[in-house]
């Protein structure tokens, strides 16, 4: 018997992160039983997203306009450029409100294990943007993983000759972090970054 439209829907849902076959079935049923309130609006939102959302050619962010609304925002600080690995990191920083400048999304980080070298990353336009005389500081907001820190090191070296200040995020105890549960690496980093109380 040919797989029905329901099976096809369940298959597609089961491929989403965090949804297994069981929750995909539950989700499909939920949607099918709420055709007007849930199924149609979600289908519409996905179609519109597929149609309109594109990477910003300036920074690599995803938005329904190109340049994206962050690149177009004239109220933002033109002198600061924050380099992140992925769009999700950009969203996290935006939610935090920690940064009011512009972004540059690398599209990943260098990884010997995954065979990802500089040519796979969105770097050519970073070298160009770093040469903009308006840019005074480049914040390397990369993951505190081996690959993230390797990438940060590589970028810091390549940017060293330019008249911009290159900075990294501070490392230490996360807010709400219980010392007892922190790993040794974080404790070491927090100790070397200690400040007068």
Binding residues for a copy of itself, rule: CB under 8 A, are: 1, 4-6, 8-9, 11-13, 15-19, 23, 25-33, 35, 38-43, 45-50, 52-53, 62-64, 69, 86-88, 91
Are the C-beta atoms of residues 87 and 105 closer than 8 Å to each other? yes
In whole angstroms, the minimum distance from the beta carbon of 47 to a copy of itself comes to 5
In whole angstroms, the minimum distance from the beta carbon of 53 to a copy of itself comes to 6
C-beta closer to a copy of itself: residue 4 or 128:
4
In whole angstroms, the minimum distance from the beta carbon of 109 to a copy of itself comes to 15
In whole angstroms, the minimum distance from the beta carbon of 85 to a copy of itself comes to 12
In whole angstroms, the minimum distance from the beta carbon of 168 to a copy of itself comes to 24
Which positions ≥6 away from 164 have C-beta within 8 Å? 130, 135, 136, 137, 138
Are the C-beta atoms of residues 50 and 71 closer than 8 Å to each other? no
C-beta closer to a copy of itself: residue 19 or 190:
19
CA distance 23 to 139: 40
CA distance 183 to 129: 37
DSSP, collapsed to helix, strand or coil, labels residue 116 as strand
C-beta closer to a copy of itself: residue 28 or 159:
28
Which positions ≥6 away from 173 have C-beta within 8 Å? 179, 182, 186, 190
The neighbour count for residue 33, using CB atoms within 10 Å, is 10
C-beta closer to a copy of itself: residue 18 or 133:
18
In whole angstroms, the minimum distance from the beta carbon of 157 to a copy of itself comes to 29
C-beta closer to a copy of itself: residue 174 or 185:
174
Which positions ≥6 away from 109 have C-beta within 8 Å? 85, 116, 121, 142, 143, 145, 147, 148, 150, 151
C-beta closer to a copy of itself: residue 59 or 87:
87
Q: 81, 89, 80: which is closest to 59 by C-alpha?
A: 81
């Amino acid at each position: 018997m040919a797989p029905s439209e329901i099976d096809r829907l369940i298959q597609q849902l089961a491929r989403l992160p965090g949804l297994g076959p069981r929750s995909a079935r539950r989700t499909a049923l939920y949607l099918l039983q709420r055709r007007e309130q849930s199924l149609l609006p979600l289908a519409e939102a996905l179609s519109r997203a597929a149609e309109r959302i594109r990477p910003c050619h300036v920074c690599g962010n995803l938005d329904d306009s190109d340049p994206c609304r962050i690149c177009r925002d004239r109220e933002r600080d033109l002198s600061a450029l924050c380099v992140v690995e992925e769009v999700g990191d950009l969203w996290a920083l935006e939610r935090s409100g920690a940064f009011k400048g512009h972004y540059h999304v690398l599209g990943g980080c260098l990884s010997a294990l995954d065979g990802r070298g500089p040519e796979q990353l969105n770097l050519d336009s970073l070298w160009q943007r770093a040469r903009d005389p308006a840019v005074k500081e480049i914040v390397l907001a990369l993951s505190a993983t081996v690959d993230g820190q390797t990438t940060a090191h590589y970028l810091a070296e390549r940017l060293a000759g330019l008249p911009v200040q290159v900075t990294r995020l501070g490392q230490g105890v996360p807010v709400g972090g219980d010392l007892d549960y922190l790993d040794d690496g974080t404790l070491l980093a927090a100790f070397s970054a200690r400040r007068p109380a």
